[in-house]
Amino acid sequence: MAKSNYNLIMAYPAIEEFALSSLGYMWLCKIASELINTERISTDSAYFNIKTTGAIAFSLSFDFDFLGVFEILEKNNIPFLANERGEDYPLIFAGGPVITTNPEPLKQIFDFMMIGDGEENFKSVVKILAKGMNKAETLRELSGLEGIYVPSITTKVKKVTETLNNVIYTPIVSDKSYFKDTFIIEVARGCMNRCAFCTASYLNLPFRHYDYEKIIDAIELGLKQTNKIALLGAQISAHPEFNNIMKYLRDKMDSGVNIELGISSLRTDSVTPELVQTLVKGEQRTSTIAIEAASERLRRFINKNLKEEQILNAVRIARENGLRGLKIYSMLGIPTETQEDIDEFLRLAKLIKSERKRET
């Protein structure tokens, strides 16, 4: 499709620093800008020309992002409710994890919503928008796409689950991003562990990953722009070639390439000496242990089957291999929690502290 003159506003419902760090949002901006005129806005640069705008797309990553949606609409004098916006106003739609989790609370606000993965489906949406039809015709055609929920038309919608082909990476490396000058590469999507509280797992089932060669190509592309490389995924250590990816990075560092490496999250039971050594070489100084619940009983209850020995083993490996700082993530207030669970948490925290301080 030749590039059309249709004008799309890609709106991020928070400040630009966060917009630039949102891989999904920035990738969709890249896709849209190849097909139509695209302008990025955020809450700190929210004004645009409504008269020349065909549609506004919002990406919602966090629950409270809806406040940013209202802020941007208000700043531009756009009615919040879809049924109060006639043909004089742009179509307004949204996607992202919050929308996929539950679109219903916002169904009076958005003309349509994207449920599930965005990258390929977004191209289909943009192509329909670019036809420049009136709102009713556009929404009718959009409602025929899988994963598109048009509250005024749709009665049933199926989440889109895409096959991961071309690796998604940071299209604009910026010092204004929350992850300053960092080239983020998506390695895998979803997580097989299905901890009961975790939308990152359930929203993105089944677990999928990119080919090793494509990830390596993306790393090389990133290193042409910056030395800060971050690998992203809810369960990247489940990538079948994870150790080889880490070895590739370690070999590069050993050959003198300066790489600051960031890893989004690692399961405690996947921490190995080689992995920690690579992270330390890549200037990562702290690790996070997500124990998630106060006691082993509660961890079993939320399907986070992590035993105390595994936690202490990960702490020992981190200490022996040079990771200095340590954070613990745990939720308090999980249903059925008792004082005994809290006491067990305090005991475990003390054990972790003494394991950290032990001489290597």
* Nearest residue to 205 (alpha-carbon basis) of 231, 234, 232, 185: 234
Q: Which of residues 292-331 bind ligand SF4 (CB under 6 A)?
A: 304
Cα distance between residue 4 and residue 339, in whole Å? 62
Shortest Å distance, C-beta 234 to ligand SF4: 4
Signed CA dihedral, 159, 82, 31, 128: sign only: positive
Burial class of residue 225 (count of CB atoms within 10 Å of its CB; 0-12, 13-18, 19+) = middle
Q: Is 267 in the site for ligand SF4 (CB under 6 A)?
A: yes
Among 75, 194, 300, 324, which residue sits at the site for ligand SF4 (rule: CB under 6 A)? 194
Q: CB-wise, 189 or 319, nearer to ligand SF4?
A: 189
Q: Is 191 in the site for ligand SF4 (CB under 6 A)?
A: yes
> Binding string, 55-94, against ligand SF4, x = CB under 6 A?
----------------------------------------
> Binding string, 212-251, against ligand SF4, x = CB under 6 A?
----------------------xx----------------
- Total length of the chain: 360
Classify strands 148-149 and 188-189 as parallel, antiparallel or unpaired.
unpaired
Residue type at position 62: F
Among 14, 57, 94, 195, which residue sits at the site for ligand SF4 (rule: CB under 6 A)? 195
Residues 191/235, Cβ–Cβ less than 8 Å: yes
Cα distance between residue 113 and residue 202, in whole Å? 19
Q: CB-wise, 226 or 330, nearer to ligand SF4?
A: 330
Q: Is 200 in the site for ligand SF4 (CB under 6 A)?
A: yes
Q: CB-wise, 130 or 195, nearer to ligand SF4?
A: 195
Q: At what angle do helices 135-142 and 119-129 cross, to 10 degrees?
A: 150
Shortest Å distance, C-beta 265 to ligand SF4: 7
Q: CB-wise, 59 or 235, nearer to ligand SF4?
A: 235
Specify the residue for token string 């990406």. Answer: 59
Count the site residues for ligand SF4 by CB under 6 A: 11
Q: Which residue(s) pair with 243 in the sheet?
A: none
Question: Which residues would be at the binding site for ligand SF4 (CB under 6 A)?
Answer: 191, 193-195, 198, 200-201, 234-235, 267, 304
